[in-house]
Structure 1
Amino acid sequence: MKMNKKLIILLAVTFLMMGCKDLITPQIENNRQLEQSYNPNDARFPYGLILNGYDRIPTSSWSFDDVATDDAVSNDKSNAYLKVATGQWTSNFNPLDRWTGCFAAIQYMNLMLEQVDKVTWTQDSAVANLFAMRVKGEAYGLRALFYYYLLKAHAGVGENGDVLGVPIILHSQAVGDNFNLPRASFKDCIKQIYSDIDSAEQLLPLDYQDISDNSQIPSKYGSITIEEYNRALGKAMSGLFSGRVAMAIKAKSALLAASPAFSAAGASSWADAANDAAAIIDLNGGVNGLAANGLTWYTNASEIAGLADGQNPPEILWRTNYGESNNLESDNFPPTLNGKGRLDPTQNLVDAFPMSNGYPISNTTSGYSASDPYANRDPRLSTFILFNGGEAGVNNSVINTAVDGSTNDALNKTETSTRTGYYLRKLLRQDVNLSSTSTTTQRHYKPLIRYTEIYLIYAEAANEAWGPLGTGGHSYSAYDVIKAIRQRAGIGLNNGDAYLESIKGDKDAMRTLIRNERRLELCFEGFRFWDLRRWQAPLTETAKGVSITNNNNYSYINVENRVYQNYMQYGPIPYSETLKFNALIQNKGW
């Protein structure tokens, strides 16, 4: 947490589409004194404080911490999450750590909030005031975001049973300050997140859009012109932290606080989380606003090709910038497509996909056949996971994962072969070619928040607060949301989703279904590990795979044991921090 007052600001930040040329052109000399921030002719350096925040968002790149769960394994024996899952997770080996990066970002946000009113953002006083309001709003919002990630990773229960958060630091720290700070309660941390979110919403526009009429200018910005508004808060700023993003972070925080792992703190209720999510869903057109092509956001080629100026497809609330690459495909395509097959989905996850009629495969009326296990399944299975006989790549190559297969795609054939009988398909552009003679790239981006996540937050929280059919005063229920999500996936189209109808009055059965839908819809996007822990669900389910011989003999195999202790429902405070600062109480068990 300790930062010197002389800051090394790296302004060559490529994160997000920040179109305001007044603010972000990098300086040649980046080693500068903080007092130089007040130069009326150069506002680019102080905005670098904000850029440092964006650059530290921990989910701005793919981590694939699914490998630490029952959803995936890796054939890379050095994978850090493999080590976490197999018993090597300690307070001084924690690949899931958020402490250093998030507190560094908070330091920058605190500095920005202290300096923002001293900066002459531009010579036009009206526009300068709008810039200052926006920058304050960004700083408050990003600070809330980083506290949310700190709570996910490091909140927990101390030896005395108190639900603890992290130190709350609302000013920049300098040499001579007291760094030996105690952890605040989890409840107080959530209150601080809400306070920062409220401040962000008061300052930021809902979305960054160019306006064409004075009536579109919110009253909080005073008497300004259309041109002044568009210069500071218009479309060119798309991709920055907005009022809509602030609403989403509040909903995510409320869900975390209401979940079983943290509910004893009394920081938020299920109704709070449902209401916060509903506020966003209403802005998105209600249940009917669920994007029809949201399942395949990563491969909607024409939609992705049309991305510009930070604008979002209908499924995406907030995202990173796009870039041309083939890194995901190189890491995860099967060997015969010149990939490394790094992330292998498990049989556990495959079994979680229902039949196309909506019934779980364990249900006796589902029609599941153990001798033809991929027939008549949820269409999401073949969309997200590459199984034996599936097609992949630009030439729709048939992939054989059977143990007696003749290619390197076969089970455990080489170090880049699948360990489970499955390869990843989700997130990958099948129009990427990794051939050494005709290698191609395609445009990719990473969602920071998808609307489907918000709908699932509502479904989970509304079911807990009001039951499957209760609405809490809204125009839709948990049942309505889950029905729409399953219909979009192609579930139960021929039978009216009879299974969903059979459980719509059963809160416990609906909870199980909602959690499973969340598992499927958000698989490989970095949710499963954190969800299991906030639900206080078992982390120790053995990762399984399938061994196929003669193309039709299926036997299920244990691939990798999951070695977790009960106290690992909460992550540790970094060991190095507890050594330096005796005021920091470690979570119980670590």
Structure 2
Amino acid sequence: MKKIIFLGLAVLLFAGCKKVLNPEPEDLKSLDQMYTDVNFAQGFLVTAYRNIPGYYDNSEYATDDAVTNQQNNTNANLRAYTELATGAWSSQNNPASVWNQSYEAMQYLNLFLENSNKVKWASDPEAARLFNLRMRGEAYGLRGLFMYYLLRNHGGIASNGQLLGVPIVTKYQDINAPFNLPRASFDACVKQIYKDLDSAEVNLPLEYNDISNNAQIPDRFKKYTGNFDTYNRVMGQYGRQLFNGLIAKVIRTRTSLLAASPAFQNAANPATWADAANNAAAIINYKGGVNALPATGVTYYANASEIDNLASGNNPSEIIWRENIVTNDATQENQHFPPTLNGANTTGAGYMNPSQNLVDAFPMANGYPIDNAASGYSAAAPYVGRDPRFAKYIIYNGATAGVSNTVIRTGSASGSDDGINARPGFSTRTGYYMKKRLRMDVNRNSVGANGKTHYNPRMRYTEMYLAYAEAANEAYGPTGAGTQGYSAYDVIKAIRKRALGLSADPYLEEVKGDQGKMRELIRNERRLELSFESFRFWDLRRWKVDLTKLNETVRGMDVNGTVYTPLNNVETRAYQNYMYFGPIPNSEILKYNMLLQNANWK
């Protein structure tokens, strides 16, 4: 794929003609050349892959989970979510927009789907048919993926009071196409996503694995080849990290969970929680059931041996889909290590500052919330006896971090650059630094500086378990099993047992008889397990939490010696009651009069 020639693709995309200008034929390719140049043909898919939104988008800066110390940085991208959260979010200023990149990707995908049957994918006819089948499956799946992001980020109640999605575009739009399209209904968009995912699943294996004999060829592919070597060439391990059938099931689950959520519950939307539960269950069942939750999933980002030994496109047990591994990398550490661990970095550090709000969401090690009388929580020693995930995900005052187990002092009187606001743009504003996503065996000091192997996830099994718990609780209650044989209670019990190591979970037993209390527990577990993974910004909106919750002021803690001083106003939020749904870009509204804006956006 690295050899794919991209020059000329943009011209093709918008020119809408078979023959493109010919002064430089080695640079500009005509559409006809796609049929004989496999690399060029694949380039349309690769470009779509490159447009997939990043997993770590740092939207936590706009929630009650964190702030950034980069609010005054001259780089607009670094302060974008801070500005969004503090009053500057508009249809003209929207860092959460995926509009342009998604429709651009779908243009490439649509052009690919309209022409892939004419491409000579291989000299072997069987392999050629399989290649075409697989890549068409990838294209359908990716189109469903981009439609999901568009629906999540831009769907909502429009200015006419209707629940709308986005324009559905399933044909390549040349210069003569009607670009002035209305938004389709939310339900129509959901159905289009499912339709594309159906096509993807028919064309793709669940996962790309080699087989060892002809009998192992999946039945639906036997009409294309009876030779397992041919199957492996196309559908085997060399395809790993390309779109597959399991990824399609994840997008189906995300879509159905979104559609069933309170913000989108509407007479014109027939989505049900049971649908979402069953979609998530299909992935849990494939994994092996409730008790197959990967044991190392809590620290997927720091399991050194597991990460360092990845090969042949394999995934860690927690990961469904990921980006490519990067060796000798320290990007995350350069950005997020506390200053004393980041001696080699002169441009910034400590970007992500977790909030006291998030810290308070971690229960005690016995599973009780800290405001429960049975928890044993002490305000005089607030970090003692906490949920083990707390120390794995957050660096707090007195914690050790880095290859030398450096003690981090975050107090304003600590005399250290790690102290609150000690060094703007480097030091914490809340009294905390993020530890999740980082490898503590990375050394960024000037002597012996090194990077380590990293990967960015795209989909994790834990997310699917949490999706089932949420949907099953809403559909059947805490202990109802529906058609799957296991309940929300069963899944949350497994998640908390993995995290807390409890043989008995008395708090879970207390709440399992109350759907509302179980809902709050499930949402809190989701908050903790998926913290700093760019979920909470959209979770709060699809749950349609009270506006006061959306605007919860970010708090911190200043610790000096044994004195704990709450910081009750680190950063305020300024969301309005229409900001449960993201806006359509104003530039599109100005261009197309049939495109309705979501209500009240300017």
Note whether the superposition's TM-score is higher than 0.5: yes
2:324 matched to which residue of 1? 321
Q: Which residue among 474, 483, 486 is the counterpart of 2:484?
A: 474
Does 2:527 correspond to 1:523? no
1:57 matched to which residue of 2? 52
CA contact (8 A) 2:260 2:273 kept: yes
Q: Deviations over 1:285-319 (max 9, x none)?
A: 00111000111111111111111222111100011
CA contact (8 A) 1:6 1:34 kept: no
Q: Unaligned stretches of 5+ in structure 2? A: 1-6, 13-24, 74-78
1:539 matched to which residue of 2? 550
2:263 matched to which residue of 1? 261
3-state SS of 1:150 partner: helix
Measure, in 2, the Cα distance between the counterparts of 1:480 and 1:550: 42
Does 2:288 correspond to 1:279? no
Does 2:565 correspond to 1:554? yes
Measure, in 2, the Cα distance between the counterparts of 1:581 and 1:330: 43
Q: Deviations over 1:180-216 (max 9, x none)?
A: 0000000000000000001111110111111112221
CA contact (8 A) 1:9 1:49 kept: no
Q: Which residue among 5, 9, 12 is the counterpart of 1:7?
A: 9
For residues 326-475 of structure 1, what are the structure 2 equivalents within 5 Å? 326-338=330-342, 340-415=349-424, 416-475=426-485
Shift of 1:471: 0.8
Q: Deviations over 1:228-262 (max 9, x none)?
A: 10011111111110011111110110000000111
Change (3 A) 1:424 1:168: same
CA contact (8 A) 1:372 1:552 kept: no
Change (3 A) 1:30 1:205: farther
Q: Deviations over 1:499-545 (max 9, x none)?
A: 00011111000000000000000000000001001001131000000
Does 2:70 correspond to 1:70? no
1:13 matched to which residue of 2? none
For residues 96-107 of structure 1, what are the structure 2 equivalents within 5 Å? 96-107=96-107
Measure, in 2, the Cα distance between the counterparts of 1:171 and 1:160: 27
For 1:37, give the aligned amino acid. Answer: M
3-state SS of 2:152 partner: helix
Shift of 1:552: 3.3
3-state SS of 2:422 partner: coil
For residues 150-189 of structure 1, what are the structure 2 equivalents within 5 Å? 150-189=150-189
For 2:405, give the aligned amino acid. Answer: N
3-state SS of 2:262 partner: coil
2:235 matched to which residue of 1? 233
For 1:371, give the aligned amino acid. Answer: A
Q: Which residue among 211, 236, 247 is the counterpart of 2:249?
A: 247
The CA RMSD over aligned residues, in Å, is: 1.5
Shift of 1:6: 5.7
1:18 matched to which residue of 2? none
3-state SS of 1:567 partner: coil
Segment drifting more, 470-479 vs 382-391: 470-479
Measure, in 1, the Cα distance between the counterparts of 2:81 and 2:272: 32
For 2:337, give the aligned amino acid. Answer: F
3-state SS of 1:547 partner: strand
Instruction: Extract structure 1 runs of 4+ deviating beyond 6 A.
Output: none
Measure, in 1, the Cα distance between the counterparts of 2:262 and 2:501: 29
2:209 matched to which residue of 1? 209
3-state SS of 2:263 partner: coil
Measure, in 2, the Cα distance between the counterparts of 1:473 and 1:187: 25
CA contact (8 A) 1:191 1:267 kept: no
Q: Deviations over 1:133-160 (max 9, x none)?
A: 0011000000000000001110010122
Shift of 1:9: 8.7
For 1:155, give the aligned amino acid. Answer: G
Shift of 1:177: 1.2
For 1:135, give the aligned amino acid. Answer: M
Measure, in 2, the Cα distance between the counterparts of 1:311 and 1:285: 18
Measure, in 1, the Cα distance between the counterparts of 2:26 and 2:219: 40
Q: Deviations over 1:306-348 (max 9, x none)?
A: 1122211110001100102111111111111126111100000
3-state SS of 2:568 partner: strand
Measure, in 2, the Cα distance between the counterparts of 1:202 and 1:152: 25
1:15 matched to which residue of 2? none
**TM-score of the aligned structures, taking structure 2 as reference length:** 0.92
Measure, in 1, the Cα distance between the counterparts of 2:464 and 2:245: 15
For 1:205, give the aligned amino acid. Answer: P
Shift of 1:30: 5.1
Measure, in 2, the Cα distance between the counterparts of 1:463 and 1:566: 27
Does 2:36 correspond to 1:34? no
Measure, in 2, the Cα distance between the counterparts of 1:30 and 1:464: 56
Q: Unaligned stretches of 5+ in structure 1? A: 11-27
2:16 matched to which residue of 1? none
CA contact (8 A) 1:545 1:559 kept: yes
CA contact (8 A) 1:491 1:497 kept: no
Change (3 A) 1:502 1:583: same
Identity of aligned residues (%): 53
- The number of equivalent residue pairs is 564
Measure, in 2, the Cα distance between the counterparts of 1:56 and 1:187: 25
For 1:287, give the aligned amino acid. Answer: V
Measure, in 2, the Cα distance between the counterparts of 1:206 and 1:560: 45
Measure, in 2, the Cα distance between the counterparts of 1:501 and 1:321: 41
Shift of 1:406: 1.3
Measure, in 2, the Cα distance between the counterparts of 1:555 and 1:254: 40
3-state SS of 2:443 partner: coil
Q: Deviations over 1:7-32 (max 9, x none)?
A: 2399xxxxxxxxxxxxxxxxx95531
Does 2:288 correspond to 1:302? no
